Amino acid sequence: MLSVQNAYVEFRVAQTKKWPWSPAGIVHAVNGVSFELEAGRTIGIVGESGCGKSTLIRAVAGLAPLVSGTVTLDGEQVDYGNRTSMQRLRATMQMIFQDPIASLNPRMTIREIVTEPLTFFRPEMGAADRKTAALAMLERVGIPPAQANRFPHEFSGGQCQRIGIARALVAEPKVLLCDEPVSALDVSIQAQVVNLLKELQREMGLALVFVAHDLGVVRHISDEVLVMYMGAQMERAPAADLVRAPQHPYAKALLSAVPVPDPNIRIAPQMLEGDLPSPMDLPPGCLFASRCPHAMAKCIKARPPMVQREGHEAACYLLDDASAEQEPCLSDS
């Protein structure tokens, strides 16, 4: 349903220039990410703040500039400069944003908000049918139709997120991109919204891309998980396998911070030392080398390739059979 290959996203930013003719700074926000997603399946995207999760899915949705790479949606490659291709993308792919209240127009009633996508994507529907479909969708996400003439500020954060979900799904897209849809909500509401998304996915066969900080939530909802660091993919694996046996040193450190609901299992959180590289000046080698306890001399020279091992795909020299003869760790010498 969705295939993203070798996606790169850069932003030009103003910076203090040494000379007036010095070039503008470039933030390398996404550096060669690839994944595929089937209908009815979920891929979770995790990684620490600033690693490029939002930028990646915004680029897929056409809301950030894709410098290179391809996105194929339901068998057709998306041409972001082409109006017809973008209209097809908008009808097929919708997005739920992180801030539930800011993502709704405060001047429109929630009925108008949920009806609007039908006006664009289902022009064949009459006004009465659109209204009926919008009210049914609101009811489906747990908002009583009697409240449909209210404005977004009259609802709680969790209700606004439900309204955002209703708006995204009312025109029956095939792919839903969710940018931390539950991070602004408290735990009990998070569970309701996540379970609602799962139910709707089952009913509609949606392909879900789910970005989150909370690995517990990602583990619950995802079939597969992609771990990002400094805009690049470090590991991709089925969710259960990644949680049970992460392969990449960064994925291991990230997962060691997730509490395990078993008092007999104690995993000490692994503290990462060292500085993150600047996204405006990426090193030539492994992007994680400055914080990796296993970094070797070759790690700082060239990017490790993606290698497959036991269903995991990870970018690390430690997993590469061809370089199995490991060099001593830099931290040991």
Ligand X SMILES: Nc1ncnc2c1ncn2[C@@H]1O[C@H](COP(=O)(O)OP(=O)(O)OP(=O)(O)O)[C@@H](O)[C@H]1O
Q: Which residues bind Mg ion (CB under 5 A)?
A: 54
- Which stretches of the chain bind ligand SF4, using CB under 6 A? 249, 286, 288-289, 292, 294-296, 299, 304, 316-318
User: Which among ligand SF4, ligand X, Mg ion, none contacts residue 11 (Cβ within 5 to 8 A by kind)?
Assistant: ligand X
**What does each C-alpha distance from 294 to 93, 141, 151, 195, 248 come to in angstroms?**
40, 47, 54, 39, 11
Q: What does the alpha-carbon distance between residue 288 and residue 283 come to, in Å, rounded to a whole number? A: 10
HSE-up of residue 189 (Cα within 13 Å, Cβ side): 16
Does 92 bind ligand X (CB under 6 A)? Our answer is: no
Q: Tell me the C-alpha distance between 91 and 48, whole Å.
A: 31
Is 44 an interacting residue with respect to ligand X (CB under 6 A)? Answer: no
Please identify which residue in 4, 42, 46, 53 interacts with ligand X, judged by CB under 6 A. Answer: 53
Rounded Cα–Cα distance for residues 6 and 68 (Å): 7
Question: Binding to ligand X by residue 13, rule CB under 6 A?
Answer: yes
Stretches 42-50, 75-83, 139-147, 290-298: which one binds ligand X (CB under 6 A)? Answer: 42-50
Q: Which residues have a Cβ under 8 Å from the Cβ of 253 and sit 6 or more positions away?
A: 270, 272
Handedness of CA 9, 90, 193, 202 (dihedral sign): negative
Q: Which of residues 184-223 bind ligand X (CB under 6 A)?
A: 213
Q: Of ligand X, ligand SF4, Mg ion, none, which one does residue 318 interact with (CB within 5 to 8 Å by kind)?
A: ligand SF4
Figure out which of the listed residues 11, 88, 142, 277 binds ligand X, where binding follows CB under 6 A: 11
| 277 counts as binding ligand X under rule CB under 6 A | no
Helices marked H in 211-270:
215-221, 239-244, 249-256
Among Mg ion, ligand SF4, ligand X, none, the one that 304 touches (CB under a kind-dependent 5 to 8 A) is ligand SF4
For residues 71 and 92, what is the distance between their CA atoms, to the nearest angstrom?
Answer: 13
In angstroms, give the least distance from the CB of 177 to Mg ion. Answer: 12
Q: Which of ligand SF4, ligand X, Mg ion, none does residue 188 bind (CB under 5 to 8 Å by kind)?
A: none
Output 89 or 306, the one with its CB closest to ligand SF4.
Answer: 306
What is the C-alpha to C-alpha distance for residues 313 and 3, in angstroms, rounded to an integer?
16
Q: Is 231 left (phi over 0), alpha (psi -120 to 50) or beta?
A: left
Task: Supply the angle between the helices 157-169 and 187-204 in degrees, to the nearest 10.
Answer: 10
Report the nearest approach of ligand X to the CB of residue 233 (Å).
13
CB closer to ligand X out of 250 and 317 = 250
Contacting residue, 4, 35, 44, 55, with ligand X by CB under 6 A = 55
User: If residue 175 lies in a helix (H) or strand (E), which one and from where to where?
Assistant: strand 175-179
Helix (H, G, I), strand (E, B) or coil at 112: helix
C-alpha angle with apex 13: 57 to 93, nearest 5 degrees? 15
What does 206 bind: ligand X, ligand SF4, Mg ion, none (CB cut-off 5 to 8 Å by kind)?
Answer: none
CB of residue 292 to ligand SF4, shortest distance in Å: 3
Question: Binding to ligand X by residue 50, rule CB under 6 A?
Answer: yes
Beta-carbon contacts of 329 under 8 Å, excluding residues fewer than 6 positions away, are 293, 294, 295, 296
Q: Minimal distance in Å, beta carbon 209 to ligand X?
A: 13
Contact between 247 and ligand X by CB under 6 A: the answer reads: no
Contact status: 52 vs ligand X (CB under 6 A): yes
Residues that bind ligand X (CB under 6 A): 11, 13, 27, 29, 47, 49-55, 213, 279
